[in-house]
Amino acid sequence: MGQILTGHFEADGNDVDLPLGFIPDHLELVNSAAADGEVIKIEWWRCAGVGKELHFIRHANDAGSDRDTPIWETSGEIEAEVSGGTVYNAGDPNLVKVTGDYGVTIDASFMDDSDEIYYTAIRADRDTDHGDINA
């Protein structure tokens, strides 16, 4: 059964373990305090694989930034976790056994102390990888 969670937390300058009760198929994070040139929003899809995220950069409205946005990032600031261990097989949820709390770990580099972070986490009814459509 699908599920959608939304929420908020105030960052403390460290990695954040966000207990969701499931490993999301899609996660959206927004840092409302991001400064110009910093990542303001991250989107992560479980089916994209480990460490692949879409980053949106906050720009001043003065055309002074040299960074494009959005950026398909591979630095891996979001990690799905089971009982404190990282899940590295995002493609087959049947390999993940229920052994404790599920959630995500958000790297401290996305947020500073006292930043306000908002999230939407979705567990899909069905998450399908259609493969190569042209094959």
β-sheet with 3-10: strand ranges across: 3-10, 116-123, 26-31, 39-45, 53-57, 71-73
Using one digit for the tens of pLDDT, what is the confidence trace for 48-67? 776 778 888 877 655 555 55
pTM above 0.85, yes or no: no
Using one digit for the tens of pLDDT, what is the confidence trace for 95-121? 333 344 678 888 888 899 999 999 999
Neighbours of 15 (CB within 10 A): 15
